[in-house]
């Protein structure tokens, strides 16, 4: 599983930023209503420019299993990240390692139930991602997740590995890591000049600050 992921790549320039900064994973958003949506052929071109070993994640919101698998096979994705209302049964039917994002409002019980149900159905939940609970938005809102509640989540009940997202940026990522003790972090809007346009300085600062706080 990745430690630092830059999500929402849309150009070859973004690939160069990731290569220079040293992030170990990138995300491609295939939700057409997102401002960070990228066509498959563009994502394929970006992937060719990435350094060896940089992991690839495809982000989907309530897509069909057929569409997800077609894109995953084409791009040789390492993980499928689901941000919609996908059920545990859907995860199990995919038959691929899944990162499931939850819009966290302080309640741990529904997440634990979801994780347990996927396991009972024979699915592969590679990681749980904690994102901010921001209305009807599906990630990339810039809203901070409920770190305080997450920090009180007992270790024995924490899904592992846990990825933190939601409102992270170079200024707050170290504090967020200290409070919530995630395995890794994921950022999109927090390193952008405008939606979908990454800042070289912010990407570099984020990766450096996150890796230092994670101890990697």
pLDDT digits (tens, 9 = 90+) for 158-168: 878 999 998 99
Sign, Cα dihedral of 108, 123, 214, 192: negative
Domain that holds residue 18: 4-214
Q: What is the pLDDT of residue 103?
A: 87
How many residues are there in the chain? 216
Residue-wise DSSP of 106-117: S--HHHHHHHHH
Residue 196 — left, alpha, or beta (φ > 0 → left; ψ -120 to 50 → alpha)?
A: left
What is the tally of structural domains in the chain?
Answer: 1
Rg, the chain, Cα only = 16
Q: What does the pLDDT look like over 3-37, one tens digit per residue? A: 999 999 999 999 999 999 999 999 999 999 999 99
Tens digit of pLDDT for each residue in 92-104? 999 999 999 998 8
Given a cut of 50, whether residue 180 has pLDDT beyond it is yes
CATH number at residue 203: 3.20.20.70
**Active-site residues: which are they?**
7, 131
Question: Angle at the Cα of 177 (from 187 to 215), degrees rounded to 5?
Answer: 100
Query: In 147-199, where does DSSP find H-type helix?
Result: 147-151, 173-180
pLDDT-above-90 percentage for the chain: 79
């Amino acid at each position: 599983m990745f430690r630092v992921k830059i999500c929402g790549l849309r150009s070859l320039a973004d690939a160069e930023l990731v290569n220079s900064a040293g992030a170990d994973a990138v995300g491609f958003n295939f939700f057409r209503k997102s401002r960070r949506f990228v066509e498959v052929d563009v994502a394929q071109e970006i992937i060719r420019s990435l350094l060896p070993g940089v992991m690839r994640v495809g982000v989907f919101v309530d897509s069909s299993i057929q569409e997800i698998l077609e894109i995953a096979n084409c791009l040789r994705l390492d993980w499928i990240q689901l941000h919609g209302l996908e059920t545990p049964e859907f995860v199990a039917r995919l038959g691929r390692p899944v990162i499931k994002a939850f819009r966290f409002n302080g309640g741990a019980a529904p997440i634990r139930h979801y994780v347990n149900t996927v396991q009972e159905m024979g699915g592969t939940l590679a990681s749980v991602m904690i994102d901010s609970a921001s209305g009807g938005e599906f990630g990339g809102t810039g809203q901070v997740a409920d770190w305080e509640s997450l920090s009180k989540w007992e270790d024995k009940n924490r899904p592992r590995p846990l990825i933190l997202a939601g409102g992270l940026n170079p200024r707050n990522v170290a504090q967020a890591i200290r409070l919530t003790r995630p395995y890794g972090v994921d950022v999109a809007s927090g390193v952008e000049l405008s939606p979908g346009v990454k800042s070289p300085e912010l990407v570099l600062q984020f990766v450096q600050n996150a890796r230092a706080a994670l101890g990697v």
